[in-house]
Amino acid sequence: MNFTLKIWRQKDSASKGKFVSYKVKDISPDSSFLEMLDVLNEDLIHNNEEPVAFDHDCREGICGCCSLYINGRPHGSDEKTTVCQLHMRKFRDGNTIIIEPWRARPFPVIKDLIVDRTALDKIITEGGFISVNTGNAPDAHNILIPKENADLAFDAATCIGCGACVAACKNASAMLFISARISQFALLSQGRLEAKDRVNRMIARMDELGFGNCSNTGACEAECPKGITLANIARLNREFIKAKAV
């Protein structure tokens, strides 16, 4: 397959960026989107040109590093799929593909397609953990958790921290990301002890870091590669109100 790529190139956070067009040829339909970019970069290096910087690590859909806007959508148009799991057979031969970095105020561009997502880590350090000692695995299993809660907590815990929800949101809100963490812990008895502090601290940090609030457009849910639902934001809001009321 052959493609024309329009890729955002930006030297560093202080420089102005622009789209640059490239051609890639003889791409296997079975290669992933990142493998297609690898082919482009090999060509660029071969021609003594600067390769395109993009973020990636596991390439298995679990680390949350890959973060590209493809044809106007974070992670591309395949539902519940990260960029690294997106395959070139999903595109038409000869197509032009537009590739941009996440665009959100709390995520400044570092270079080309790589943005700084440290802001999400800062939110996590405010409450993305429990400090109670749950003992070893059999001890933890002695605390009975209703199956429905265990399933919902597990679903919430599948958030990979990619930031697509922030990039998709017109307010650059991190509410879906935070709500996944809040749900993960609020639904388990081990997480209840620090529930009030956790929600207060995480929301305060989100505001401080320049993320916007949720206005229920649902773009985050639509673009989340892990299917984190708006029901988690509703739970986050309930936890926040409870924390303020008690």
Distances (CA, A) of 173 to 118, 125, 190, 201: 15, 18, 27, 16
Residue 203 interacts with, from ligand FES, ligand SF4, none (CB under 5-8 Å by kind): none
**Whole-angstrom distance, CA of residue 145 vs CA of residue 180:** 18
59 binds, options ligand SF4, ligand FES, none, Cβ within 5 to 8 A by partner type: ligand FES
Closer residue to ligand FES (CB): 84 or 214: 84
Selected from 88, 123, 165, 199, the binder of ligand SF4 by CB under 6 A is 165
Interface residue with ligand SF4, options 88, 195, 228, 233 (CB under 6 A): 228
CB of 37 to ligand SF4, least distance (A): 20
Compute the least distance from the CB of residue 113 to ligand FES, in Å. 13
Is 164 in a helix, a strand, or coil? helix
**Residue 176's binding partner out of ligand SF4, ligand FES, none, with CB under 5 to 8 Å set by partner kind:** ligand SF4
Q: Rounded to the nearest 5 degrees, what angle is found at the Cα of 148, between the Cα atoms of 142 and 152?
A: 100
Of 35, 38, 100, whose CA–CA distance to 70 is shortest? 100
Q: Nearer Cβ to ligand SF4, position 4 or 213?
A: 213
Q: Quote the CA–CA distance of 213 and 193 in Å, as a whole number.
A: 26
Judged by CB under 6 A, which of 97, 153, 160, 219 binds ligand SF4? 160
83 secondary structure, DSSP code: G
209 binds, among ligand FES, ligand SF4, none (CB under 5 to 8 A by kind): none
Q: Which of 61, 161, 191, 212 binds ligand SF4 (CB under 6 A)?
A: 161
Torsion, Cα 46 51 56 60, to 10 degrees, reads -30
- The pairs formed by 130-135 with CB atoms below 8 angstroms and a separation of 24 or more are 130/185, 130/190, 130/191, 130/193, 130/194, 131/194, 132/190, 132/193, 132/194, 134/190
Taking CB within 5 to 8 Å according to partner kind, which of ligand SF4, ligand FES, none is near residue 63? Answer: ligand FES
Quote the least distance from Cβ 189 to ligand SF4, whole Å: 24
Q: What is the DSSP letter of 11?
A: S
The closest alpha carbon to 67, from 140, 120, 23, 2, belongs to: 120
Contacts to ligand SF4 by CB under 6 A = 159-165, 176-177, 180, 224-226, 228
Contacts to ligand FES by CB under 6 A = 56-59, 61-66, 82-84, 160
